[in-house]
Amino acid sequence: MDNFNLPDFNIDFGNFDPQEITSDETINAVFIIDISPSVDSYIDDLNNSFKEFLEEMQRSHVAEKLMVSIIEFNDKINVRTGFQPIDSVNLRKMNFVPCGSGTALYDAVLYGLTNAVEYRTNLENSGVNCKTLIFTITDGEDNSSKNSSSVVKNSLDAILKNEKNIFNFETILFGVGDDSNFETAQQEMGIKHLAKIGNTGKEIRKMIGFISASISQSSSANSPVVF
Amino acid sequence: MIYFSSVSRRGTSHPDWNEDNFFIKEMAHVIVGGVFDGCSSGKDSFFASKLFANIFKKTVKEFDAIIETTTFPTLIHQFFKNLNKAIKSIGLTTDETLSTAVLFIYDLNNNELLVKFFGDGCAYANNEDLLFFNNDEENKPDYLGYQLNDLLKSSNAFSNYYNNKQSFSVTTKDFSIASDGLFTFKKIIESEPNFDYTNYLLNDDFIYKNPASLKRKLNIIKNKGYEHYDDVTIIRVIKE
């Protein structure tokens, strides 16, 4: 199995059993969401928009092949859900609450990446073709991680060196607000895309709309993942 | 319990369309279905095979509860009539109607499978020994599209045509029906070890309860360095 030099966190993410998937292709979407105290200014808009997005996806034609994993972080990492079919995500429980005392951005991305690659490998070995999209939403720079940004970058570079991942593995960092360090974080971690957005309700909805469109566009069998 | 799995994929020699199609339906006492393979040198053959599959589906729906092994020829006769009517109503030319039809009925009470071949295709029964029937008309099948008008002129004409076509019947609890694309797999990555893909597709029990089993097996075969030149369609049914 390819491990792409990813660390073993020895965490059971509780991913859905690959043998039970009744499709031969999936879209694996990972949401890595900052819940440090500073996100308080937009958390209600994020919660509302994210729930609407999940509802929309549960009703859409994409639902049968969409698997989602949701990870939240402040100075610690909490896996809200490993990869599960979108249908089984409990909307009522999907609420983000600002708390903690720091921002372990690099660790959180590394966690998300590690699980995404491991699950993808398991799926591919059992005959499921995958497209992976990793969405990271944060409003500030890292100040709590145990791992450095270069560990993330090395891992991502290794993943993208594999030919079959080139068009099927995408990463994007959404920088919310006016922190000037988003570009540095994006580049140092090797995340492919950066989108800076305001922290107004309109901007948050726009971001979620973008995520929704990206997932829908990725659902076509032969289309590469694009942002 | 009855478990179905099916797959239909475009082969590497066809740049645009998968010219195969299929239909399968479980009813109270039987399972009926068909695999249809459009002629590559015909015109819009992806449409011909899809038309055949849809008309067969419509015919099965019309017959519904009265379908059983003994009435299978009657069902096929009606299928031909419906097909002829559809072809005329939309003004298709003969070269737009060239598709094979491998039709089957499986009696759930006594586990008897009957397969009727109108063109190339194959059937497997996964018993103690793997039973295999390949109807190979060397890609020059006597396409239904050429015969429909004549064979519907009288019941004798239909009976003669029907009786002259190859059949395969067997008692089994695990069978597969496939288009001849099954024989066109080639290893494209020489460094990969040889792999018995036929056995894997038709015998192996990998996630056999999962309806995506065959689709996922094809992905795995591809990962093992094999591709199929012609379109391939397989239906597998397992009764437990």
How do residues A191-209 score in pLDDT, each as one tens digit?
Answer: 999 999 998 999 999 999 9
The amino acid occupying position B89 is S
| Average pLDDT for runs of 10 along chain B of length 240 | 96 93 94 95 93 97 85 95 96 94 96 95 85 76 87 91 93 95 91 88 92 96 92 96
- Residue B217 sits at the chain A interface (C-beta within 8 Å): yes
Nearest to A23 among B212, B217, B220 (CB): B212
pLDDT for residue A93: 85
* Cα–Cα distance, B155 to A173 (Å, whole number): 70
- The alpha carbon of residue B203 is apart from the nearest alpha carbon of chain A, in Å, by 17
- The alpha carbon of residue A125 is apart from the nearest alpha carbon of chain B, in Å, by 7
* Cα–Cα distance, B43 to A135 (Å, whole number): 46
Set of chain A residues whose Cβ sits within 8 Å of the Cβ of B197: none
Q: Where are the domains of chain B?
A: 2-239
- The alpha carbon of residue A42 is apart from the nearest alpha carbon of chain B, in Å, by 42
pTM of the model: 0.87
Asked if the model's pLDDT at residue A1 lies above 50, the reply is no
The Cβ of residue B33 has, within 10 Å, a number of other Cβ atoms equal to: 24
Set of chain B residues whose Cβ sits within 8 Å of the Cβ of A129: 219
Q: What percentage of chain A reaches a pLDDT higher than 90?
A: 74
* Cα–Cα distance, B205 to B208 (Å, whole number): 5
Q: State mean pLDDT over A38-45.
A: 93
Asked if the model's pLDDT at residue A226 lies above 70, the reply is no
Set of chain B residues whose Cβ sits within 8 Å of the Cβ of A23: 212, 215
Q: How confident is the model at residue A11 (pLDDT cuts 50, 70, 90)?
A: low
On the CB side of A58, how many CA atoms lie within 13 Å of its CA?
Answer: 13
> Is the CB of A128 less than 8 angstroms away from the CB of B218?
no
The CATH architecture of the domain made up of A25-218 is 3-Layer(aba) Sandwich (3.40)
Q: Where are the domains of chain A?
A: 25-218
Straight-line distance from the first to the last Cα atom of chain B, in angstroms, rounded to the nearest whole number: 5
pLDDT, tens digit (0-9, with 9 covering 90-100), for A79-103: 999 999 999 998 888 899 999 999 9
* Cα–Cα distance, A44 to A97 (Å, whole number): 9
Pick from B169, B230, B166: which is nearest to B37 by CA?
B230
Give the strand pairing for B112-118 and B20-26: unpaired
Counted across chains A and B, CB pairs separated by less than 8 A come out at 31
Is the separation of the CB atoms in B21 and B9 below 8 Å?
no
Task: Name the helix (H) or strand (E) containing A45.
Answer: helix A43-59
Q: State mean pLDDT over A159-182.
A: 87
Q: Copy the structure tokens of residue A134.
A: 């990793």
A16, A22, A164: best mutation site toward chain B, by most B Cβ within 10 Å?
A: A22
- Residue showing tokens 């607000």: A177
> Is the CB of A19 less than 8 angstroms away from the CB of B210?
yes
* Cα–Cα distance, B165 to B119 (Å, whole number): 9
The Cβ of residue A6 has, within 10 Å, a number of other Cβ atoms equal to: 22
- Residue showing tokens 């075969």: B221
* Average pLDDT of chain A to the nearest whole number: 89
Nearest CA in chain B to A25: B216
> Is the CB of B211 less than 8 angstroms away from the CB of A124?
no
- Residue B215 sits at the chain A interface (C-beta within 8 Å): yes
Q: State mean pLDDT over A10-38.
A: 89
* Cα–Cα distance, A138 to A148 (Å, whole number): 17
pLDDT for residue A227: 59
* Cα–Cα distance, A173 to A191 (Å, whole number): 7
Give the strand pairing for A25-34 and A66-73: parallel
- Residue A180 sits at the chain B interface (C-beta within 8 Å): no
Residues of chain A numbered 116-135 and touching chain B (CB < 8 Å): 124-129
In Å, how far from its chain's centre is CA B92? 23
- B2-239 fold: Phosphatase 2c; domain 1 (3.60.40)
> Is the CB of A24 less than 8 angstroms away from the CB of B216?
yes
